[in-house]
Amino acid sequence: MEAFNTFIESINGVIWADWVLYTVLGVGLLFTLWSGICQYRALTHGIAVTSGKYDDPDDPGAISHFQALSAALSATVGLGNIGGVAIAIAVGGPGAVFWMWMVGIAGMALKSTEVAQSMMFRDTSDPNNPHGGPMFVVREAFKKWNLDGMAGVGTFIGGIFCITLLISAVTGGNMFQAWNVGDITTEATAGAMPSWVVGIVLAVVVAMVILGGIKRIGSVAGVLVPVMCILYVITGLIVIIMNIGEIPGVFGSIFSSAFSPSEAGGAFVGGAFGTAFLWGMKRALFSSEAGQGSSPIAHSAAQTKEPISEATVAGLEPFIDTIVVCTLTALVMLSTGALDRGGDGVGADAMFDPVPQVRLIEVQEDDKMVPTWVFGDPHVFRTQGDTEIQGGSQTSDNQFRNDGKVYVAGRTTLPKRDVDAGNLDLGGGGWRNDTNVFVIADGGTQPNEETASTRVKFAGTVVIPEDTSASSYIRWDAIDHKDSDVTQWRDLAMNDGVPSMVSGGIYKDYVGATFTAYAINRSLPGWGTWMTLIAAWLFAISTMISWSYYGEQGIVYLLGAWAVPFYKIIYCVLIVVSTTGIVTTTKELGNLTDLGTGIMLWVNIPIMLLFGVIAMKAWHSYFRRLNNGEIQSKRS
């Protein structure tokens, strides 16, 4: 898994280069101006269309405008809003929220444009099961140009898009959701309900819905989305009101940190401007799916003969998803102090006695010695399980051997957990086996590029042996001396300096949705656990059923309808697989979702630009007819 995650991370490093993000924002600005500020149309005419004011039962399509919006929102308003925002703030700081807003506004233009294109080229030959999306746009538009060989080019590009669609469906639309629900459920039940059991339940529920096709998906989404949004928004507003005095400062930190480094403190290591920009953009794009080309697949099933009417409805998605729901999550996290919280140990600063040091040791790998940082006492562990190997792999006081069968990590005793901190945890109480924790060490004179500070996290895992006579401890991950996270320590090491642990002690590593639940618990003890648990289940189920449909349309395009049953089986199996421990950290989780989102953007944005003029001509024509009275409301 380590090699796999490294490979995925290297791909993400290319597809998520800074210029890609600038390009996405630029394309959103382009269509904002080209359409004549389409955001205004979405918030006015789009709402009217969604309400059914222009509905005609004789128009082609399978579901209403409201059901289409609900189906698309069920894929976007989900754990990206709860867990994704938490990840962005935890890594990028308050400034990430500002860049989420920018993506939300630009995303309204991106979403309106891509849906307009898909509605213009959708296939309604089967009224009960329309087909649409960027793959049909590029195929049919090339055919319409009627140039020699271009039809085949369009079909090929459409196939490439479908491959990226399927990757995104099984990663961000499926595995990300299931993993988060499994994690938060296991936490909330103190391990009584294992993650893999959650995966089985989710797989059964999702299977029962997706077997009914787009009509059942639209009906279920039409109920789930309003309920889950209302529940989550009410809870968030209560927390914000309880911390209303913090809100002005929160907005101040959001704007100031958007263009300058976020100040480090407590559990937050700090965030540079570039980190805030990158993570705010990525999480907002993942949450809203703007520019990915996924939502047009759901909107293409809407019952209408006017493509642009549904495009205005689609513009509401990023507003609801990013401007409203994501902002709510961000305000809850920042106003409650969850980001820069204190330590979890008894006595916080004095929890380690004596305070362990960060040591620079040498680990032999094959025929070379690798300088490695460890926190606490260096130990050698088996690659399977937590049983220590006694002797045989330590060559000297400061040298260790890693021969592939064992690995080197730091070790410290497990301190007691502060009662108040434990009560705010999802499962409550003290430490549990396999709990992820971290400490923060400081050192060096050159700030890290990602954090704009000299602080660095050391991640560890709580180990509570089954043998009650054995002492519990923490196994701390070692960090390669050449790792980019600790480059600021190199000068210190060369001068025999030693980084030291800063005040604050030990912290539990809250990941994704569990971090948001913890933040709510700081103001509403206990309620955050169960509200987030319920919302996570509803959000995940709605997202997975919609993304299953998206992937299904990709399968139809690539292989035909005969392959759909096999796809659905694989889709449901992957729900279970993702809850069996294949993903364990925030970084791994982010890698999977970034891969799916990124590759779809790379294919869909060029399609949008290539056929943008067609969509914009239709857009302006529609509103001329609307203003001239040629398009009338169906209500008297």
pLDDT the model gives residue 589: 60
Average pLDDT estimate for 360-374: 77
Residues 335-347: what's their mean pLDDT?
82
Return the ∠ at Cα 378 (arms to 372 and 379), rounded to 5°: 120
Chain CA centroid to CA 227, Å: 22
Of 42-46, 127-131, 245-249, give the lowest mean pLDDT range.
Answer: 127-131
pLDDT value of position 131: 84
pLDDT at 271 over 90: no
At residue 514, the pLDDT reads 80
* Separation of CA 282 from chain center: 8
Q: Are strands 455-463 and 479-480 parallel, antiparallel or unpaired?
A: unpaired
Three-state SS string across 265-317, please? ECCECCECHHHHHHHHHHHHHHHHCCCCCCHHHHHCCECCCCHHHHHHHHCHH
**Closest-CA residue to 78 (of 277, 236, 289):** 289
Per residue in 393-408, pLDDT tens?
566 667 777 766 677 8
Calculate ∠ Cα 367-372-376, nearest 5°: 135
Q: Tokens 């993942």 sit at which residue?
A: 286
Could you tell me if 287 and 81 are in contact, meaning their C-beta atoms sit under 8 angstroms apart?
yes
What average pLDDT does the segment 210-238 reach?
77
pLDDT tens digits, one per residue of 308-324: 999 999 999 999 888 88
Q: Give the tens place of pLDDT for each residue, 536-565.
A: 888 888 888 888 888 998 999 999 889 999
Average pLDDT, the chain: 81
Q: Output 394 or 601, whichever has higher pLDDT.
A: 601
| Mean pLDDT of all residues in 574-584 | 80
What mean pLDDT do residues 297-301 have? 88
Distance CA 207, CA 193 (A): 21
Assess whether pLDDT exceeds 60 at residue 466.
yes
Beta-carbon contacts of 124 under 8 Å, excluding residues fewer than 6 positions away, are 60, 61, 130
pLDDT at 360: 77
Query: What pLDDT is stored for residue 349 in this prediction?
Result: 47
Residue ranges per structural domain of the chain: 2-338+517-604+612-626, 348-509
pLDDT digits over 405-434, tens only? 677 888 888 888 887 877 787 767 788 888
pLDDT at 395: 66
What confidence category does residue 358 fall into, taking pLDDT thresholds of 50, 70 and 90? confident
pLDDT in tens, 381-392: 875 555 565 544
Predicted pLDDT at 387: 59
Residue 571: phi and psi, rounded to 5, are -60, -45
CATH fit for domain 2-338+517-604+612-626, picks 1.10.3470, 1.20.1730, 3.30.1370, 2.40.160: 1.20.1730
Percentage above 90 pLDDT, the chain: 22
Give residue-wise pLDDT tens across range 474-522. 888 887 766 545 555 554 444 445 556 665 678 888 877 788 888 999 9
The strands making up 394-396's β-sheet, listed across from edge to edge, are 394-396, 399-402, 358-365, 368-375, 479-480
Choose between 246 and 56: higher pLDDT: 246
- Global pTM reads 0.82
Contacts of residue 506, Cβ cutoff 8 Å, sequence gap at least 6:
343, 344, 345, 351, 352, 415, 437, 438, 439, 474
- In terms of phi and psi (left: phi > 0; alpha: psi -120 to 50; beta: otherwise), the region of 61 is left
Nearest Cα to Cα of residue 76 among 225, 263, 189, 223: 225
More confident position, 159 or 594: 159
